[in-house]
Amino acid sequence: MLGVINYGSGNFRSVCNALEFLKIEYVPISSAKELRKTSHIILPGVGSYKNCMSKLDELEILEPLKQEILDEKKFFLGICVGHQILSTLGSEFEKVPGLDIIEGITSKITTDIKLPVPHIGWSEVYRKRESELFNEIEDGATFYFVHSYNFDVKDKRFVSSITNYGGEITASVEKNNIFGVQFHPEKSQKNGLKLLENFSKLH
């Protein structure tokens, strides 16, 4: 069963709507007990790194989440801030420890040219490695982004795709059963829906 973590994120409902459109069964998750019943976990995210970590901590779900995806090897997909907190550290308003599953730091986007931040809109995403998450999705396909921060991954082998916004931006990460996407698949029309479908079929 696929579970979607509900900690009050603004795009929780949008992700659920996309899954319902695809006729993919899911359950909302707001406790460690519910987490244990799933095989696939989606963590949506809109807002700040600190708020996301704090809300998950309030639900007493942080350590159980790490256990389920690291020890039980359940498939995990983090979206936007849900992707960023896979990092070691977030440095938005202050330094905040992340899940530290993929080594790296989430920090403000810096560009070589004067581009507006946040980065909002459709951008082409280019593969850096083969990934089941992108099965039947064309390389260079467009996805919808809304973010001011970038996950700078230390070991680039875990970067599965990039986009360009005045410089290279991490669009997605992958480490074994763990996936993260900076863009919003639930807002990315056919490409995003295909990615969610691909995630649901991982086994």
Q: Provide the annotated active-site residues.
A: 80, 184, 186
Cα 102 off chain centre by: 12
Indicate the residue type of 169.
Answer: I
Contact of 163 with 125, CB cutoff 8 Å: yes
Q: List the structure tokens of 17.
A: 């709507």
Q: List the structure tokens of 18.
A: 């996309």
Question: Does residue 64 have a cis bond before it (omega within 30 degrees)?
Answer: no
| Alpha-carbon span 44 to 105, nearest angstrom | 19
Indicate the residue type of 137.
Answer: I
Q: List the structure tokens of 189.
A: 């029309």
Contact of 84 with 152, CB cutoff 8 Å: no
